[in-house]
Structure 1
């Protein structure tokens, strides 16, 4: 029922606005126009009612209703401006487009955006005619509808993240509940392998040597050698079995990176695997796997439940996490040799490995492995995930900045002037593509490139009378301020971006105004003193002017950071706590079984190689049988305990 609330309100509001108000006042309503508007309103309302289940078809229905309304609604001003008869229900295409962006794929959202922009452009041309103001209207349409699409995509990612967090919490609690039993079963399986392979082999060989010792003396020597060697292997296997971490896999048993990531996903890590080149080449497979295993193990210790990216492309392995959501008590479990080991692995194939904190929180491991020699086979690997939204943001910022050029049409604007202006505006906005990786760095570059605007004027590339074409260039600065507030390191210092953005922009605009003043013959007689005074007086004023939107953007970004951190802590707190409890339960179970092994098995198993080295075949057989009996007794006990639980 909630899905119909908004459509019903819009339909009621539209019918009350027009033709309702005319009917209430007793004014006549044209039959064709009134019927057309009512039908169009009902069509749009019906389409919006299905915006959640069928977003793309719903948008098509809304646009169809809009076409009908455009053809039948009166063009004259009803209350506010011309063509305002559909003022309320006219927002239906924005609502439907938002729903498409939230619930459909990025490709579908892109086509929906293009279609609605084209539809609105045709509508504007039909209503207002094709004149010099049409490009401005189209540009504003692109900005508005593009912003709605971007917000919808962001909301869609938010919904996906919340659902994923709920699933991970359920999985983590299941892992916590089953941790002890799973560890008990794992150890029981491996104990069975040790029993079947090592100790049973020793018993069989020793029994044969003891029975046939008189006929085959050589069997005794072979059995003793076998018992000594296999006994030591048994002890090593048992000690590895009850170590803090399971024994490392042999190279022949190593899974692929995708399999490795899947194993850590089962422990609650949110891992994204990006393999545009496929799996690593055979000559570096072991190295890549070893580095990835160590790095992912560290994310489990220090960033439980965090978002982790594993990328292998062009001989470069990158593993980075976002730091997780809550502090973890597992930080002391590492041995302190992980980073050194990763570097040694990379150096073994002529590569390098770097590890350290990343800007915005979290940790990054980057290994360049010369031995792979692979080439990137993905033509556009950056066209994934948030990178698309960043590119879209850059396009929107550039379009906003170019509004100044639109106003300069008809005032002497030529191609020779337009080209350097466009290049400067693009260079000013493009650094925002890297805003997630280096918020502070992008902010600094954006502020510095803003100084290109007065430089072009003083260099003569842009006439001083057209300096106002750069006035909308501050869009990049306010976007960078928001980014630092939302993602930059040192949250308590991010407010400094407000004056850091305002003062350079105020200086740039003051220089542009001063350049214009210098060409005015009425004030040019004032000389350098007047120009310097203009710059000194206007810079702080203009800095304050930009400081207002910059402060608003900073507040929005800071608020977004706090909400994200608070939500992340709440969601990941349960996951991290459950995972830590699962690890604790598994460790307790491991140590409990280890104590049983030490008490009932290991001292008998240790007697096997000792007796073999003494040449006591009877002692070997007795010790192996005692160890075998004790281990089977322990197995029976653990299996029965698992069954009872």
Structure 2
């Protein structure tokens, strides 16, 4: 459709209307290009080959430019698709092949001379720009794919984490019910059967029931205490030191002497792993060394965090799982946390008694380090895109300079010197993404060299016109600052999308980073405008008149206005791209953070739910067992113990089903035991 509109508007204005061969060629090439563009997402290389063939035919057999414009645009679209969908080597080879193919029609149209080089360089510049856009698009799509995979993995882990926690809690509760309460029931029933022949078994069974019920109650209360102090870790961008210290303080409130020494800025995966390891180590100390002192230490050594948790020999020197609530999975769980982030963990008895846990965790401290003090990693596609943009700027400015140099009749040495100056001027674009402000500063400094070289006679005054092509470098640099420049924020500014992608959007009209970034437009316009004005006025003449102060200032004002408008357009294009990228990344970051937070919250809620169920049902039943044993009734002890086991099984069933544990009404044996034993309803 675009080609037809161009023909309808431009062909009647030509001095010589196209012949039949030109029309047939144009229609056939346009149809072939349209068909190839429609298939470029599925077979990009084949589409590019077809479009190159049609482009060459149009340029050779249909000379008017209006017949070849759309074909040239089609080649750029096909190159964009190739570099987007193919490997970087394929994209680089396709760009080189397309540039080589275009030499033939350029030679047919312009012959072998300076016009050929100038025209071909313009074509190559556009092809490099298309390749740069395709490489950037490939990087963007790869980022979205990686983020999608992370979100999918986080969603999968959301359900698995809760199931894993339920299994772990079920194992803990099963240990208590299987080893403690079942033994009470067995001993009481044996005493009831043999009571007439062996009356001493009754006293032994009652003492055993009372002692075991107390131990069970202590074990359950410690388990509840462990779950109550298990707070959810802080988000990854916040320090978790306070959360770990609160966790340790909760264990200290259980009558445990605990000393702690932690860095004030524990963040990231190492901090989360340390949180889980400390929690598990303290829990094991409660189980296996009740009453022993514990020391928690964390110390950095380069990029590694050394975490140690030591507990002394328990009072009396007797350790082990005397309460019978251990599942034997503590050390394995701590090891998995360490190895999951590339660390390692060792645990074992201390020579002087007690237990020692030592974890070595990689601690990149990515959040603690300022963005400017850490080298950023860029993908191959991003580096290729920067190189392609730099190349496009070089060939675009060089083609303009060579065209002007050809018109002026400059010799080969002077042309080479101009090419070297323009290449050096564009070279900082290679760092436009990783250091956009520095690249802009170097580009501005090299532009200021031009009037100096003209002033000292290294360049003739007429070459000032050749250097105007360097403006495309300034355009690319201004775009780079707006798109990739670090967004700074004064200390008094509100925290919003411009600082933290996961934070809520703050609506104020001109964010501080935007105002700071726009300074690049003013600085670049002033630098380039002063350079060009000084270059043109270096020979003392402007517009054929003596370059007086008034004329120079007038020209500088006009130049600054024009450059300001052009550079502002480039800056807005970069800033809009920056905003779009921040918005998409912020939404994805918020989704991922929400999933991770939901996982922690659900695990934490599950622990609190089970703790509440233990307090509301099982602990009340163990009170009845103790009261019945103190009253000396084997029948009531048996009934209360069976009721406790039933409550425990009900709680275990709720973990298997993933439902909230219902509070069961008192059973008939429980009511009878409560009525027969004074004070049996205490909690």
TM bin (shorter chain): 0.5 to 0.7
> What value does the CA root-mean-square deviation take over the aligned residues?
6.0
Distance 1:91 1:503, change over 3 A: closer
**Corresponding residue for 2:165?**
187
Structure-2 separation of matches of 1:358 and 1:605: 55
Provide, for residues 96-155 of structure 1, a one-character-per-residue CA deviation record: whole Å limited to 9, x for no partner: 223323433333222222121111122101222111111111211111122223333444
Aligned residues: 510
CA distance in 2, matches of 1:102, 1:351: 35
Counterpart residue number, 1:400 = 396
1:479 is the counterpart of 2:476: yes
CA distance in 2, matches of 1:113, 1:605: 79
Rounded Cα–Cα distance in structure 2 between residues aligned with 1:402 and 1:591? 70
Distance, in Å, in 1 between the alignment partners of 2:122 and 2:431 is: 25
Contact 1:502 1:543 in 2 (8 A): yes
**CA shift in 2, pair 1:389/1:352, >3 Å:** closer
Equivalence for 1:414: 413
Question: Which stretch of the first structure deviates more once superposed, 193-202 or 500-509?
Answer: 193-202
The secondary structure found in structure 2 opposite 1:516 is coil
Matched residue, 2:556: 539
Residue number in structure 1 paired with 2:651: 634
CA contact (8 A) 1:55 1:99 kept: yes
Structure 1 residues 115, 234: closer, same or farther in 2, change over 3 A? farther
- Report the CA distance shift for 1:365/1:233 in structure 2 as closer, same or farther (over 3 A): farther
| Residues 143-181 of structure 1 deviation map (CA, whole Å, 9 limit, x = unaligned) | 112222333344455556667777777777x66xx95x6
Shifted more, 577-586 versus 502-511: the winner is: 577-586
Match of 1:61 in 2: 50
Shift of 1:392: 1.9
Cα distance change on mapping 1:150 and 1:517 into 2, 3 Å: same
Question: Partner of 1:136 in structure 2?
Answer: 118
2:232–2:600 contact (8 Å) kept in structure 1 = no
Distance 1:470 1:567, change over 3 A: same
Structure 1 residues 455 and 193, CA gap change in structure 2 (3 angstroms): farther
Does the CA contact (< 8 Å) of 1:14 and 1:41 recur in 2? no
Equivalences for 1:131-170 in 2 at 5 Å? 131-157=113-139
Aligned to 1:273: none
Structure 2 vs 1, CA of residues 128 and 467 (structure 1 numbering), >3 Å: closer, same or farther? closer
Supply the distance in 2 between the matched residues of 1:486 and 1:247 (Cα, whole angstroms): 34
Structure 1 position 70, deviation (Å): 4.8
Is 480-489 or 455-464 further displaced after alignment?
455-464
Offset at residue 478 of structure 1 (A): 2.3
The structure-2 alpha-carbon separation of the partners of 1:546 and 1:109, relative to structure 1 and needing over 3 Å to count, comes to: same
Larger Rg: 2
Instruction: Give the 3-state SS of the residue equivalent to 2:380 in structure 1.
Output: coil
Asked whether 1:44 is paired with 2:33, we answer: yes
Q: Secondary structure at the match of 2:102?
A: helix
Q: Which residue of 2 aligns with 1:429?
A: 426
2:613 corresponds to which of 596, 621, 641? 596
Check 1:110–1:584 CA distance in 2 against 1; reply closer, same or farther (3 A cut).
Answer: same
How many angstroms apart in 1 are the aligned matches of 2:453 and 2:519?
Answer: 28
1:187 deviates by 2.3
Work out the CA distance in 1 between the residues paired with 2:622 and 2:446.
Answer: 73
Instruction: Classify 1:424/1:551 alpha carbon distance in 2 versus 1 (closer, same or farther; 3 Å).
Output: same
Query: How far did 1:643 drift?
Result: 11
Residue 561 of structure 1: which of 547, 572, 578 is its match?
578
Partner SS state of residue 112, structure 2: coil
Tell me the distance in 2 between the aligned counterparts of 1:589 and 1:16.
72
Question: Cα gap change, 1:626/1:245 in structure 2, threshold over 3 Å: closer, same or farther?
Answer: farther
Q: In the TM superposition, what whole-angstrom CA distance separates every residue of 1:575-633 from its partner, at most 9, and x where no partner exists?
A: 65566556544443332223224445689999xxxxxxxxxxxxxxx999999876544
Distance 1:445 1:12, change over 3 A: closer
The answer to whether the 8 Å contact 1:235/1:605 transfers is no
Q: Determine if contact 1:244/1:587 at 8 Å carries over to the other structure.
A: yes
Give me the whole-angstrom Cα distance separating, in 2, the residues matched to 1:393 and 1:403: 15
For residues 199 and 28 of structure 1, what CA distance do their matches in structure 2 show? 96
Shift of 1:538: 4.0
Provide Cα deviations, 1:358-386, integer angstroms capped at 9, x if missing partner: 569xxx9889xxxxxxxxxxxxx855242
Corresponding residue of 1:443: 440
Q: Which residue of 1 aligns with 2:107?
A: 125
Output the TM-score relative to the length of structure 1: 0.60
Quick check: 1:511 aligned with 2:534? yes
CA contact (8 A) 1:10 1:45 kept: no
Could you tell me how far apart the structure 1 residues matched to 2:579 and 2:614 are? Answer: 50
- TM-score, normalised to structure 2, is 0.57
CA distance in 2, matches of 1:351, 1:186: 27
**Which whole-Å CA distance do the structure 1 matches of 2:645 and 2:442 have between them?**
70
1:116 aligns with 2:98: yes
- For 2:217 and 2:380, locate their aligned partners in 1 and report how far apart those are by CA, in whole Å: 54
Flag the 1:124–1:589 CA change in 2: closer, same or farther, 3 A.
same
Give unmatched runs, 5+ long, in structure 1.
1-8, 215-226, 249-259, 261-286, 299-314, 318-344, 368-380, 607-621
Task: Give the SS at the match of 1:133.
Answer: helix
Deviation at 1:414, TM superposition (A): 1.4
Relative distance call for 1:441 and 1:629 in structure 2 (3 A) is farther
Question: SS at 1:414's partner residue?
Answer: helix
Name the stretch that deviates more: 143-152 or 127-136: 143-152
Q: In the superposition, relative to structure 1, how do residues 365 and 584 fare at CA in structure 2: closer, same or farther (>3 Å)?
A: farther
- State the shift of 1:36 in Å: 4.5
The alpha-carbon distance between structure 1 residues 115 and 184, as it changes in their structure 2 partners (threshold 3 A), is closer
Cα distance, 1:200 vs. partner?
5.5
Contact 1:359 1:439 in 2 (8 A): no
- Once residues 604 and 182 of structure 1 are traced to their aligned partners in structure 2, the CA distance between those partners, rounded to angstroms, is 32
Correspondence list, 1:114-263, <5 A: 114-157=96-139, 182=160, 184-195=162-173, 243-244=229-230
